[in-house]
Structure 1
Amino acid sequence: MNSLKEKYGEWGIILGATEGVGKAIAEKIAKGGMNVILVGRREEKLKELGAEIEKTYQVKSKVIRADFSLSNCTDAIFEATKDLDMGFMSYVACLHSFGKLQDTDWEKHEQMINVNIITFLKCFYHYMGIFAKQDRGLILNISSLTGVTSSPYNAQYGAGKAYIKKLTEAVGYEAEKTNVDVMVATLGSTITPSWLQNQPGGEAGEAAIKAAMTTEDTIDEIFDNIGKVHSLVVGERNRNSVKHWQTDMTADEAAAYMGRFYE
């Protein structure tokens, strides 16, 4: 892990770093010697995390407040990082809204498009350009099993995660003969504060928590595979599920399987 700074560069940016997977990625690259740029909406919480990381890992931190649902939010991000030795980018931010497609307000749809597609693509394009020019860097984007099956009653979110997955896989191949590592990690249920808030109570909730992965195990598996694969479904249980959906089910059956969770 101490070779991250030497291999990729001095600074890493985590887009969606406040808690959960984003926070764990920030801590992981700091442990590898990289300075961290923490981006999200909750500025005070990010400053607390930055101070904690600086104290624990003896690296520098920067905080950028940004609302990823605004299409121009990347202006301030790119300006704040233009003079830094950038070597890592991870897009973790996501936005979802439960309900039928036509029952969701159009404003919410536009926000989801910006968070899950437009802002993601702008950041991927920008930092991939930097890394390609200097011929070093690491891109780590986060997708979800909802992008494998589709996600009825959460349809745009699942489609956005499929976009992130397929775009990153393709760019990973494009960068294969370079010193830029590109990877998308597809996650299943992962115990984070926001995930816990969405779980049902009682036995169903207990079963979901028991089956979920911790953020620590998730991040360890991801970083163990960087440079080895462009696309990773994280967790043996999740890999078995994907294999089952793709070999034993039609697309309609897989969508129905996922949809029944929200009915």
Structure 2
Amino acid sequence: MNQRLQGKTVLITGASGGLGERLAYRCAENQANVILVARSIHKLEQIKKDIEEKYGIQVTTYQVDIGKQEEILRFYDQIKDVTIDVLINNAGYGVFKTLLDSPIDEAEKMFRVNVIGLITMTKIVLPKMIAQNSGHIINIASQAGKIATPKSSIYSATKSAVLKFTDSLRMEVQQSGIFVTAVNPGPIATNFFEVADESGEYLKNVGRWVLQPNDVADKIVKKLFTSTREINLPRLMNVGSIFYTLFPTIVEKVGKKAFFKK
């Protein structure tokens, strides 16, 4: 149990499935009230009902497309008087294609959801966190933001942008009692890959690296309201990302065959 979460309010985007859904349950187990945001209000209402029955805490749901700024701003009008203690920017998606196979409108949409939507959500929540001199912002990035691989140039670019945004924000608010953490998971066994890799080959090829959403959610919730710069999973993959930062040419040569397993 994370006693620091009891009675707090946690806002989670992309909460209708996968990691976002698991985070909702884990926060509720720790007696935090949760605000759940996603495009599918039907799925959110099912999760709300289940959580309220199991844990007896307050659950609020909102249908919001994080890729549409006007919907985020309309959402803000509905919650502007609510105290948000934790923001978990989880909404995001990827498509594994080469640049030549990637339509520009697909790239633009990925940036709108993964980067601009995340920044906008943070911007609307941050003033109240600063005013209350407390809060925690969790940005779900990716190991793909650290290790560039073929067929993920656009997705990797979005997650790299999330990492740099997170690092800058952490320094901007360090005097305001606000924690800012980047989460960099490797592949997670969720419906993310139904969009990212329709062939299903990627998950087969990286089977031993695949994380379970419950495990990732557990690690994130345990770190809430602690001064944690990054959560990197799995550990061995993160060792690879560090080595890549130090010796990119060597890693690209040695890992060429593995990188093309998407």
| CA deviation map 1:59-115 (0-9, x unaligned) | 111111112222322112212211212111111111323323243223222211210
User: Which whole-Å CA distance do the structure 2 matches of 1:200 and 1:67 have between them?
Assistant: 26
What TM-score does the superposition give when structure 2 sets the normalisation length?
0.87
8 A Cα contact 2:94 2:192, kept in partner: no
Residues 207 and 158 from structure 1, CA distance in 2 versus in 1: closer, same or farther, beyond 3 angstroms? closer
8 A Cα contact 1:221 1:234, kept in partner: no
Partner of 2:4 in structure 1?
3
User: Which whole-Å CA distance do the structure 2 matches of 1:210 and 1:86 have between them?
Assistant: 37
1:260 paired to 2:260: yes
Residues 42 and 155 from structure 1, CA distance in 2 versus in 1: closer, same or farther, beyond 3 angstroms? same
| CA deviation map 1:96-155 (0-9, x unaligned) | 233232432232222112101111111111212221111111111101111112243222
Aligned amino acid, residue 88 of structure 1: V
User: Which whole-Å CA distance do the structure 2 matches of 1:199 and 1:106 have between them?
Assistant: 19
8 A Cα contact 1:151 1:157, kept in partner: no
User: Which whole-Å CA distance do the structure 2 matches of 1:222 and 1:72 have between them?
Assistant: 29
Partner of 1:233 in structure 2?
232
| Cα offset, 1:238, TM superposition | 2.2
Aligned amino acid, residue 210 of structure 1: R
Partner of 1:123 in structure 2?
121
| CA deviation map 1:172-231 (0-9, x unaligned) | 2333343221111101021223337748668x7556333312112212223334413222
User: Which whole-Å CA distance do the structure 1 matches of 2:250 and 2:91 have between them?
Assistant: 27
| Cα offset, 1:169, TM superposition | 2.0
User: Which whole-Å CA distance do the structure 1 matches of 2:208 and 2:96 have between them?
Assistant: 23
Aligned amino acid, residue 231 of structure 1: E
| CA deviation map 1:154-181 (0-9, x unaligned) | 2221111111112112222333343221
1:216 paired to 2:214: yes
User: Which whole-Å CA distance do the structure 2 matches of 1:229 and 1:235 have between them?
Assistant: 16
SS at 2:69 equivalent: coil
| Cα offset, 1:48, TM superposition | 0.3
SS at 2:60 equivalent: strand
8 A Cα contact 2:27 2:221, kept in partner: no
User: Which whole-Å CA distance do the structure 1 matches of 2:182 and 2:31 have between them?
Assistant: 22
Instruction: Calculate percent identity across the aligned residue pairs.
Output: 21
Aligned CA RMSD, in angstroms, stands at: 2.5
Which blocks of at least 5 consecutive residues in structure 1 are unaligned?
Answer: none
Between 1 and 2, higher relative CO (CA 8 Å, sep ≥ 6) is seen in 2
Instruction: Determine which of 60, 81, 91 is the counterpart of 1:83.
Output: 81
In the TM superposition, what are the counterparts of 1:1-263 in structure 2 within 5 Å? 1-6=2-7, 9=8, 11-195=9-193, 198=197, 205-206=203-204, 208-226=206-224, 227-250=226-249, 253=252, 256=256, 259-262=259-262
Residues 59 and 251 from structure 1, CA distance in 2 versus in 1: closer, same or farther, beyond 3 angstroms? farther
| Cα offset, 1:259, TM superposition | 4.5
User: Which whole-Å CA distance do the structure 2 matches of 1:88 and 1:134 have between them?
Assistant: 12
What TM-score does the superposition give when structure 1 sets the normalisation length?
0.87
User: Which whole-Å CA distance do the structure 2 matches of 1:258 and 1:159 have between them?
Assistant: 20
Q: Which moved more, 1:154-163 or 1:69-78?
A: 69-78
8 A Cα contact 2:72 2:121, kept in partner: yes
8 A Cα contact 1:18 1:46, kept in partner: yes
SS at 2:116 equivalent: helix
| Cα offset, 1:53, TM superposition | 1.1
User: Which whole-Å CA distance do the structure 2 matches of 1:235 and 1:225 have between them?
Assistant: 16
| Cα offset, 1:18, TM superposition | 1.0
| Cα offset, 1:31, TM superposition | 1.8
SS at 2:19 equivalent: helix
